[in-house]
Amino acid sequence: MKSVVKRSMSRDVRLENHVRSNRGVSTFRVPMSRPARFLSGVLTLAVTAATTLSAQANPVRRADTSLPRGYGDINFAISQPIGDFDDFIGAGYGITGGFVWNLDRDRVFGIRAEGGFVQYGNERTAHCLINCRIGVDVNTSNDIVFAGIGPQITVPAGPLRPYLNATAGLSYFFTHSSVSGEDDYEGYFDTMNHDDAVFALTGGGGFLIPLSLRRTHVLLDLGATFHRNGEATYLRKGSIRDLPDGNIEISPIRSEANFITYRIGVSIGVPTRR
């Protein structure tokens, strides 16, 4: 009888310990969307790097009280489509620009606002205006405009100054056609053929290399940014077909529209009070 009671008590103790060990442990997980996972990954990387960058920058910064709080930059950019986007279009070319305002005294943590323009396709065809005594060119361009705002961390001193940033904003895909004459006279005829705006996230980084640190800080800017746009509709060369009756037929493409921009340009410090 005593052995039965002992076995029963032992089972009760094991059951109670099992309940205690699992109390407060939840197996319920909230699924994260792809944009949320991407932004979370970028922010995690930024926070991890921030400690290292700040530790490297602070001793140098304390010896230099002349660093600007704000920087503006302008860059030549090359865009490289990736994934499904690469199956439909080629490389693009354009310009990007931005402005960083550092929030802390050490010039490590800042807010960056940026934007850019990339043209990934251009098509020029000859047509007759009224009759063929007057010839005109119809130029069709495929473009992307993007803009966003987000955090940036930077090593503010030294011969090589790495930085990381991330933004949230918009990407605008559009195709438009315009008319020009033989003397490259641009008239008022400009038609939007197709456009689409999508929410966009970016994550990027690069290096700043000082060129001049006198009255105005001028630095060479070398960097790259991943643009995550998700799905978008857009046109490419051949997506607009001229019909015999004078009308046109437009065949938009819908796919993932992610790309990388590679930049080279200059970053210029804005003189401010401490």
pLDDT at 212: 86
> pLDDT-derived band of residue 41, with 50, 70 and 90 as boundaries?
low
Report pTM: 0.75
pLDDT at 33: 54
pLDDT of 3 strictly over 50 = no
For the chain, list the domains and their CATH numbers. Answer: 34-62+71-260 (2.40.160.20)
Residue 270 identity (one-letter amino acid): V
**Distance separating alpha carbons of residues 227 and 199, to the nearest angstrom:** 10
Beta-ladder partners of 194: 175
DSSP string, the chain: -HHHHHHHHHHHHHHHHHHHHHTT-----PPPPHHHHHHHHHHHHHHHHHHHHHHHHHHHHTT-----SEEEEEEEEEEEE-GGGGGT---EEEEEEEEEEE-STTS-EEEEEEEEEEEEEEEEEEEEESEEEEEEEEEEEEEEEEEEEEEEEE--SSSSEEEEEEEEEEEEEEEEEEEEETT--EEEEEEEEEEEEEEEEEEEEEEEEEEEESSSEEEEEEEEEEEE--EEEE--TTSEEE-TTS-EEE--EEEE--EEEEEEEEEEEE----
**Proportion of the chain above pLDDT 70, given as a percent:** 70
pLDDT of 272 strictly over 90 = no
Which two three-digit tokens encode residue 271?
């003189």
Give the residue, 204 or 56, on which the prediction is more confident: 204
- Judging by DSSP bridges, how do beta strands 131-154 and 109-129 pair with one another? antiparallel
Q: Kindly state the average pLDDT of the residues 196-206.
A: 97
Which two three-digit tokens encode residue 223?
């960097």
CA 253 to chain centre: 21
Residue 181 and residue 129 in contact, taking contact as beta carbons nearer than 8 Å? no
pLDDT of 273 strictly over 50 = yes
Per-residue model confidence as pLDDT tens digits over 160-181? 999 999 999 999 999 999 887 6
Per-residue model confidence as pLDDT tens digits over 223-258? 999 999 999 999 999 899 988 887 889 999 999 999
Residue-wise burial string across 168-188, b where 16 or more C-beta atoms lie within 10 A, e elsewhere: ebebbbbbbbebeeeeeeeee
pLDDT at 211: 93
pLDDT at 133: 67
